């Protein structure tokens, strides 16, 4: 008998690594019908296994003595799930072994059952010592080498290790207060309007009282500084958390029709029916979108600051500096002379952060004095929130001025 939680986690592993599905979407489908306790366990198993897959594969290959890439997909998924339970949870070894074997049997791969059983037993005996003996670094913490190298560039070796460890653990849960009083038991933070909570109350979200949004993300929205009576442009606006923070006459641009629908729905939930949503390419804006007082460019990026929330992202992340620069320049053309632009990305990669701002040629307005707790460690005119330092998602924020 396979527990519903393990079955759901197994399906997520198959869909993410064999069909290139996104972990959160795969999990929503796989976990349908699970009760709250099972759902929580399934999510821990699924997300942990996806996150730690580099380390898990190393253990499977070392102890199983066969390349993971040559295994049948159901065997690969079952071993990864079993290895995660043995290496990173307090699951009873016999339960992890037996259910991994049963998953392979249920996949009608009877010929692979003896192999799966043998490898799982070796993992039960040897994975903990193997993990403990690994040198500190990207293999032990399960990151691609290139991401580790980026983190070292920004923070040095010790800072990179602390950052990798922090993003392998759940970060704080924070909501933005949209209206009314803070939720019962919520804790105010160092970002105005941001409250730390034990869990997000979905009924309060549905009522438009709160919005789930990290302190790093809220900080970016606050830095825009928009006021009533101003015209504000928001590029790449979906899903709309920052859009909902903006005051004034707001135009929110989103290129993807499905994400634009999501943006409209989220803004309606927040009570922001006053925001005009335009479906357009942010690098080729319609002529009528012009003369704005302020703009927010929350550009698509590699997402290296939100790897804690998105377990599969580290395996598919790509830097996007050319697109980011094109979006920033496009927005700058639509802001009135002397107007303000905020450029934000949820990454820590210098090529997508300060290098894009430097290449834009726009004048930088220092932010570090305004928000000293979040000042960039080497470029204090910018902000850089760090999961390992601030406990929130990683965001780079720059405020710029268009030529007068």
Give mean pLDDT, residues 365-386. 97
Among residues 223, 236, 301, 346, the one annotated as catalytic is 346
Give mean pLDDT, residues 338-351. 98
Residue 147 in contact with residue 189, Cβ under 8 Å?
Answer: no
The tens digit of pLDDT for each residue in 80-111 reads: 999 999 999 999 999 999 999 999 999 999 99
pLDDT tops 90 at residue 404? no
Residue for token digits 């804690």? 308
Mean pLDDT over all residues of the chain? 97
Give mean pLDDT, residues 27-48. 94
The tens digit of pLDDT for each residue in 163-174 reads: 999 999 999 999
Q: CA 11, 12, 18, 19 torsion: positive or negative?
A: positive
pLDDT at 109: 95
Cα–Cα distance for residue pair 72/108, rounded to 1 Å = 11
For the chain, give the percent of residues with pLDDT over 90: 99
Burial 284-299 (b: 16+ CB within 10 A, else e): ebeeebeebbbbbbbb
pLDDT at 306: 98
49 Rama class: left (phi>0) / alpha (psi -120 to 50) / beta: alpha
From the number of C-beta atoms within 10 Å of its C-beta (0-12, 13-18, 19+), residue 329 rates as middle
Cα–Cα distance for residue pair 273/354, rounded to 1 Å = 34
Give mean pLDDT, residues 137-156. 98
Binning pLDDT at 50, 70 and 90, where does residue 1 land? confident
The tens digit of pLDDT for each residue in 178-236 reads: 999 999 999 999 999 999 999 999 999 999 999 999 999 999 999 999 999 999 999 99
From the number of C-beta atoms within 10 Å of its C-beta (0-12, 13-18, 19+), residue 333 rates as exposed
Burial 124-135 (b: 16+ CB within 10 A, else e): beebeeebeeee
pLDDT at 314: 98
Residue 136 in contact with residue 165, Cβ under 8 Å?
Answer: no
pLDDT at 240: 97
pLDDT at 177: 98
Tokens of 79: 């071993």
HEC readout, the chain: CCCHHHHHHHHHHHHHHHHCCCHHHHHHHHCCCCCHHHHHHHHHHHHHHHHCHHHHHHHHHHHHCCCHHHCCHHHHHHHHHHHHHHHHCCCCHHHHHHHHHHHHHHCCCHHHHHHHHHHHHHHHHHHHHHHHHCCCCHHHHCCCHHHHHHHHHHHHHHHHHHHHHHCCCCCCCEEEECCCCCCCCCEECCCCCEEECCCCCHHHHHCCCEEECCHHHHHHHHHHCCCCCCEEEEECCCCCCCHHHCCCEEEEEECCHHHHHHHHHHHHHCCCCCCEEEECCCCCCCCCCCCEEEEEEECCCCCCCCCCCCCCHHHCCCCCHHHHHHHHHHHHHCEEEEEEEEEEECCCCCCCCHHHHHHHCCEEECCCCCCHHHECCCCCCCEEECHHHHCCCCEEEEEEECCC
Domain residue ranges of the chain, discontinuous segments joined by +? 4-134, 173-213, 216-401
pLDDT tops 90 at residue 367? yes
Residue for token digits 């550009």? 299
Burial 164-186 (b: 16+ CB within 10 A, else e): bebbbeebbebbbbbeeebbeeb
Residue 205 in contact with residue 213, Cβ under 8 Å?
Answer: no
Tokens of 53: 């897959």
Q: Which fold has domain 4-134?
A: N-utilizing Substance Protein B Homolog; Chain A (1.10.940)
Give mean pLDDT, residues 226-251. 97
The tens digit of pLDDT for each residue in 59-68 reads: 999 999 999 9
Q: How far apart are the first and last CA of the chain?
A: 70
Give mean pLDDT, residues 275-292. 97
Q: How many CB atoms lie within 10 A of CB 263?
A: 24
pLDDT tops 90 at residue 388? yes
The tens digit of pLDDT for each residue in 122-135 reads: 999 999 999 999 99
- CATH H-level superfamily of 216-401: Vaccinia Virus protein VP39 (3.40.50.150)
Active site residue 353: no
Measured N-to-C along each axis, helices 36-51 and 73-88 cross at an angle, to the nearest 10 degrees, of 100
């Amino acid at each position: 008998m396979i527990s519903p939680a393990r079955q759901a986690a197994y399906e997520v592993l198959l869909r993410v690594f064999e069909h290139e599905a996104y972990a959160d979407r795969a999990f929503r489908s796989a976990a349908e019908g699970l009760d709250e306790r099972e759902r929580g366990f399934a999510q821990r198993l699924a997300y942990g296994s996806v996150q730690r897959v580099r380390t898990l594969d190393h253990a499977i290959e070392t102890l199983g003595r066969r390349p993971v890439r040559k295994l049948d997909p159901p065997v690969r998924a079952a071993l990864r799930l079993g290895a995660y339970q043995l290496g990173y949870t307090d699951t009873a070894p016999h339960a992890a072994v037996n259910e991994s074997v049963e998953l392979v049997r249920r996949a009608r791969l009877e010929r692979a059952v003896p192999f799966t059983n043998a490898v799982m037993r070796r993992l039960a005996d040897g994975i903990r010592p193997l993990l403990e003996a690994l040198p500190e670094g990207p293999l032990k913490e399960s990151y691609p080498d290139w991401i580790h190298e980026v983190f070292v560039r920004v923070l040095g070796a010790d800072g990179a290790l602390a950052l990798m460890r922090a993003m392998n653990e759940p970060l704080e849960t924070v909501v933005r207060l949209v209206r009314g009083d803070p939720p019962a038991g919520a804790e105010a933070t160092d970002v105005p309007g941001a409250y730390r909570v034990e869990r997000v109350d979905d009924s309060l979200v549905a009522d438009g009282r709160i919005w789930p949004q990290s302190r790093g993300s809220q900080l970016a929205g606050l830095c825009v500084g928009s006021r009533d009576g101003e015209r504000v442009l928001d590029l790449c606006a979906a899903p709309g958390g920052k859009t909902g923070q903006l005051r004034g006459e707001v135009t929110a641009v989103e290129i993807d029709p499905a994400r634009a629908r999501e943006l409209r729905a989220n803004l309606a939930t927040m009570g922001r029916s006053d925001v005009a949503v335009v479906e357009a390419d942010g690098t080729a804006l319609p002529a009528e979108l012009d003369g704005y007082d302020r703009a927010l460019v929350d550009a698509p990026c590699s997402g290296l600051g939100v790897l804690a929330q998105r377990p599969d992202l580290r395996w598919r992340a790509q830097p996007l500096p050319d697109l980011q620069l094109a979006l920033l320049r496009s927005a700058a053309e639509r802001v009135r002379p002397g107007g303000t632009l905020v450029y934000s990305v949820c990454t820590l990669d210098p090529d997508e952060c300060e290098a894009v701002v430097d290449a834009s040629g726009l004048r930088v307005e220092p932010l570090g004095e305004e928000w000293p707790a979040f000042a960039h460690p080497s470029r204090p005119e910018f902000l850089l929130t760090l999961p390992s330092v601030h406990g929130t998602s990683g965001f780079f924020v720059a405020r710029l001025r268009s030529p007068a």
